[in-house]
Structure 1
Amino acid sequence: MNISVVIAAYNGEKYIFEQLKSILTQLSINDEIVVSDDGSSDRTIEIVSSFKDIRIKLVDGPQKGVIKNFENAIRISKNEIIVFSDQDDLWEPQRAEKIKTAMINYHADVVITDYKALYSNGSSCSKHVEWHSGFMNNLKKNTYIGAMISIRREWLVEIMPFPRYVPMHDWWIGLMTELKRKKVLFINEPLVMYRRHGDNMTGNTRNSFIKKFFMRGLISVQIIFRVLISSMHI
């Protein structure tokens, strides 16, 4: 099984070189990184192109936001294992190998790895993924963090496209994975330096109680609709 790393890029010149470098050292010749650039106005495209590595595919994004940008990268990717990556994090050594091992040896549909938080001043701390199984647990609080998720292509394609009205793709993946009782393996080892700063594209939102309630109702309706549509096609 080979890996496709998918990155939704947008004005990522500050960190994307370090991120790509940390990933490339772990990939085999048959692995790939698909960078979907959503109309960056900085040096992101120039930096990605500078690698001159055939494993990197730089493509134009749809310019419809981060979720559709990830979806674009997924559709262009080709390998059996899809690994989500933010443009500004750092991978620890052997992350790719450990993901592959989990997928092959444990027949996992989804693999989640732990992380350390990396702050803009260079300091880090041992925060970790508070992952919990169960549909209701994840409807209450999403514990599927996008940058920590790897997923089998066959399962990901089954739950795409991502709904138009969903707060983030990782929440949709998590809820559908729990609903269908897919096999999830959590690697309790910090294999990503998860950068936290004011410009994060994901994981940086604060919502009121009313908005949170509305979002949970909205995503629940979309799940019911998707399940009904799927059952009609059986």
Structure 2
Amino acid sequence: MNYDVIIATYNGEKYVIEQLESIVNQTIKPTNIYIRDDGSQDNTIKILESFKNACNVNIEIISGQGNLGYIKNFEKLVGYTVSEIVFFSDQDDIWTENKAALMLCHFENEKVNVNFSDAYLINDKKEILGGLWDYVRHTSKLDEINLDKIIINNIVTGATLAVRRNFLIGLLPFPDSIPHDHWIAANAVASNCLSSCVDKLVLYRQHDNNQIGATKTTLSIKLKRLFNRQKFNKRLAYYIQIHLLLENLVKREVLVKKDPIYININEFISNMNVIYNGRISADLSVKYLRCSIFIIIFKRNYFEFKTIKSLFTDFIDAIFVRTIFKKTNINHN
């Protein structure tokens, strides 16, 4: 079974060679590797060209086309692929040598269109910090992954993804402001074509330059983040992302507005819109905005998707959005 690998790069000179070496040394080698650089200011392109010239796997490097951000960068890369299966790759991770072989086995089942694996979390020194699935609170039981849960809490990480190309093409264009892995995972669950590989097949590097990552932090750091404007914006942006994902699933006719899943999550986001004083979306039901936050917290579908930690965070954010973060602006589009 042939497969292509797509890699989005940006200022990746420090780690990209180590990742490429792990890919070309797979027990089953890729047919093609497509790399699109998003406007690196370091030596990434020069390093890639040098590696390409010495490599026995076909590598295509796309550069000089401007900065799109990682979502649209991967969207562009999908358009270059030709093989039956497409593997997504970050620029700074390391694959185990049997990653491709183990994941390709899942696609022998014609019903499987999307496969993802567990990963090791590592630091810059390649010390293992833990398991990715432990961090995202995922077990190996696929029957526990339903659509409402995957919309609220995506446990499928893009760096571990392999997707059947025909299915992937049907998901284009990737919606703005929705990470491609969340979009792919939600559609796969809705289509009942998601499978998982319990093996840890990626060394998923965590460092300060990660666009998206998973790092374990101390309690004191977590408390400080509650009072940080950037982290506040990130929490708010996440609920905006869920709202946009829900509406895009309706647009794609994966969901209809009469579906109980849509109704439940829409009510949950409407509750969160009250917490954030209307900043998730101006289009959500006006009647919710008239509610007191003390009424919202007693609604059933508010608690359904909440942890003790997030309840406390919501209380803090509800105060902040009405006081010191009053002028915070988030783009809803």
State if a TM-score over 0.5 links the two structures.
yes
Structure 1: give runs of 5+ residues left out of the alignment: 229-234
Equivalent positions of 1:3-22 (< 5 A) are 3-22=3-22
Separation in structure 2 between the aligned mates of residue 10 and residue 27 of structure 1, nearest angstrom? 27
1:192 to 202, 205, 223: 202
The 3 A distance-change label for structure 1 pair 78 and 218 is same
The answer for the alignment partner of 1:170 in structure 2 is 181
**Identity value in percent:** 31
The answer for the alignment partner of 1:103 in structure 2 is 107
> Are 1:57 and 2:60 matched, yes or no?
yes
Larger Rg: 2
> Are 1:140 and 2:144 matched, yes or no?
no
The amino acid that maps onto 2:204 is: Y
Cα-to-partner distance string for 1:103-153 (whole Å, 9 max, x where unaligned) = 125752111111101102331133132265211111110111000110000
The amino acid that maps onto 2:34 is: V
> Are 1:2 and 2:2 matched, yes or no?
yes
How far residue 45 of structure 1 moved from its aligned partner, in angstroms, is: 0.8
Contact 1:62–1:68 under 8 Å retained in 2:
no
The 3 A distance-change label for structure 1 pair 210 and 72 is closer
Separation in structure 2 between the aligned mates of residue 197 and residue 143 of structure 1, nearest angstrom? 20
The amino acid that maps onto 1:75 is: G
> Are 1:75 and 2:79 matched, yes or no?
yes
Structure showing the higher helix proportion among its residues? 2
Over the aligned positions, Cα root-mean-square deviation in angstroms equals 2.2
The answer for the alignment partner of 1:222 in structure 2 is 248
Separation in structure 2 between the aligned mates of residue 117 and residue 197 of structure 1, nearest angstrom? 10
The answer for the alignment partner of 1:201 in structure 2 is 211
Structure showing the higher strand proportion among its residues? 1
Separation in structure 2 between the aligned mates of residue 44 and residue 137 of structure 1, nearest angstrom? 38
1:155 to 160, 163, 167: 167
The amino acid that maps onto 1:178 is: V
> Are 1:25 and 2:51 matched, yes or no?
no
TM-score normalised by structure 2 residue count: 0.64
Point out which structure has higher relative CO (alpha carbons under 8 A, 6+ apart): 1
How many residue pairs match? The answer is 227
Q: Does the residue aligned with 1:227 lie in a helix, a strand or coil? A: coil
Separation in structure 2 between the aligned mates of residue 69 and residue 30 of structure 1, nearest angstrom? 20
The 3 A distance-change label for structure 1 pair 222 and 192 is same
Separation in structure 2 between the aligned mates of residue 189 and residue 66 of structure 1, nearest angstrom? 26
How far residue 20 of structure 1 moved from its aligned partner, in angstroms, is: 0.1
How far residue 213 of structure 1 moved from its aligned partner, in angstroms, is: 2.6
TM-score normalised by structure 1 residue count: 0.89
Q: Is 20-29 or 217-226 further displaced after alignment?
A: 20-29
